[in-house]
Amino acid sequence: MIRGADLARFWELLQRRLGWTATDQDGAQTATVLSARAAAHGLSEREYLNRLAEPGWDGETAELAEALSITETYFFRHSDQFRILRDQALPARIAARAGQRVLRLISVGCSSGEEAYSLAIEACRARPGSDWILAVTGVDANRRMLAKARTATYAGWSLRETPDDMRRRWFRPAGDEFRVADEAVAIVQFLEQNLADEAPHLWQPGRYDVIFCRNLLMYLTPAVADRLIRHLTDSLAEGGYLFLGHTDSLGSDPDDLEVFHDGGTVYYRRAQQPRRESRPAPAPPPRQNETGAGDDYERALGLLRDDRFADALDVMRAPSGVRELLMRGVLLAQTGRVEEARDAAHRLMDIGGPHPDAHHLLGVCHELDCAEQAAGQYRLAAYLDPAFAMPRLRLGLLFRRRGDDRGAVAHLQPALELLVREDEERIVLFGGGFGRLALTTLCRAELEACGVRR
């Protein structure tokens, strides 16, 4: 028989490890889990609690998350929020990301994955062209739910709110169950993460276009929930959208977020910051002996990795060498200053003669106005440096957009091989915020769409 004091201590430890607030959750279930976990380690309940109070033992935290978390979810849960996503959030974010053609969405507390796949389906439906990179991340602490999510296969009950037309288009029968369409599965990745722990890799500033964090905050203590909300807000792009569960509220004036009401639902948008150039009293520039051109370049590269284009541009305002000028050109293109980006590319060629990266940059600029010119520039870049994967990839995507699958395959196949060895810096400069793995996945998916089985 478990004593009330042991149960209370167990709850205190769950709070410390998983950020959970003691709820009216079934006390008998909690007691059963305590006994079972203690027995699994050959310990008495008291010994188990003592061990759990010590630092480390993350594997056991994961076991507890698995045994005790509440995981109820289904596809297109709260349809009003998906309507706002479809009609407002995605069109606005697609317009904002037109220069980069990248959209990132995240389901925080994704459970068995229905929410992440619902986001993926909506993102695929909204995708303006095949060269857009879409990425959905699902995060949860519950390993068993994540394993289920990775199967992408669900019982009909999970689709109880899925309209018939969506069911037909985005699911295929798999025995008695339904499997999510490959196109949507391909853009989703699941990560195990205890959200009560620090996770800087998840919360890079300005990273996400859309965040869903629904039916999780209510299980967390106020301190853990507040910290998570701060991370969510900071990692939203300016103008990015945040959707919470119907019982979660951030009050009427949350920091850095605008609040919107639509029918029965509330949602949030990250406020636009005033442009850095117009901010008063910028920090004085570092003295020459404090930081050199190399440090500035590394700093700008780091900021570019985090999609902080305006900040990186600030660092690269007076490029001192060829690679700094290339970086500035890339950042200008990323922030929509295409004419200036072209000037930077031409200056690069004036300084150093034929320059594959400068031609690639010109290609990126021309994709906005003339696909033929863009293709010509990419060809030149690939000719000047046969090991350069990025122009091959872009050429493949251009051909795909044009409906020329044979032409696309001729570029995508070498791109796929070259990506393995592509220079890391070029991936940061030209990968639109995506790493080698995501670009390789894109390349493979496009080849498959062209009918090439690998």
Ligand X SMILES: C[S@@+](CC[C@H](N)C(=O)[O-])C[C@H]1O[C@@H](n2cnc3c(N)ncnc32)[C@H](O)[C@@H]1O
Task: Name the residues that contact ligand X, by CB under 6 A.
Answer: 18-19, 65, 69-73, 77, 109-111, 115, 140-142, 145, 194-196, 214-216, 219, 245
Nearer to ligand X, 72 or 165 (CB): 72
Shortest distance (Å) from residue 56 CB to ligand X: 17
Which phi and psi (to 5°) does residue 171 adopt?
A: -140, 150
Q: Is 273 helix (H, G, I), strand (E, B) or coil?
A: coil
Nearer to ligand X, 100 or 215 (CB): 215
Shortest distance (Å) from residue 302 CB to ligand X: 27
Strand partners, 234: none
Q: How far apart are CA 200 and CA 158, in angstroms?
A: 32
| CA angle at 163 for the pair 161 and 165, rounded to the nearest 5° | 155
Residues 6+ apart with CB under 8 A from 280: none
DSSP letter at 220? B
Nearer to ligand X, 180 or 418 (CB): 180
Hey, which bits of 246-338 come out as E strands? 257-262, 265-270
Nearest to 430 by CA among 344, 348, 364: 364
Shortest distance (Å) from residue 389 CB to ligand X: 36
Shortest distance (Å) from residue 227 CB to ligand X: 11
Nearer to ligand X, 65 or 257 (CB): 65
Q: How far apart are CA 85 and CA 243, in angstroms?
A: 9
Q: Is 191 helix (H, G, I), strand (E, B) or coil?
A: strand
Shortest distance (Å) from residue 72 CB to ligand X: 5
Q: Is 130 helix (H, G, I), strand (E, B) or coil?
A: coil
Q: In what order do the strands lie in the sheet with 153-154?
A: 153-154, 177-180, 171-174
Query: Phi-psi bin for 78: left (phi > 0), alpha (psi -120 to 50), beta?
Result: left
DSSP letter at 20? B
Q: Which residue has the tokens 């079972």?
A: 36
Shortest distance (Å) from residue 126 CB to ligand X: 21
Residues 6+ apart with CB under 8 A from 361: 326, 329, 330, 333, 341, 344, 345, 348
Nearer to ligand X, 34 or 315 (CB): 34
Distance of CA 141 to the CA centre of its chain: 17
Q: Is 23 helix (H, G, I), strand (E, B) or coil?
A: coil
Nearer to ligand X, 14 or 327 (CB): 14
Nearer to ligand X, 77 or 328 (CB): 77
Question: Are residues 208 and 105 in contact, defined by beta-carbon separation less than 8 angstroms?
Answer: yes
* Antiparallel, parallel or unpaired: β 171-174 and 177-180: antiparallel
Question: Are residues 93 and 236 in contact, defined by beta-carbon separation less than 8 angstroms?
Answer: no
Shortest distance (Å) from residue 195 CB to ligand X: 4
Nearer to ligand X, 219 or 399 (CB): 219
Shortest distance (Å) from residue 168 CB to ligand X: 23
Question: Are residues 384 and 354 in contact, defined by beta-carbon separation less than 8 angstroms?
Answer: yes
Nearer to ligand X, 20 or 309 (CB): 20
Nearer to ligand X, 89 or 141 (CB): 141
Nearer to ligand X, 146 or 364 (CB): 146
Q: Which residue has the tokens 């709260």?
A: 78
Question: Are residues 418 and 389 in contact, defined by beta-carbon separation less than 8 angstroms?
Answer: yes
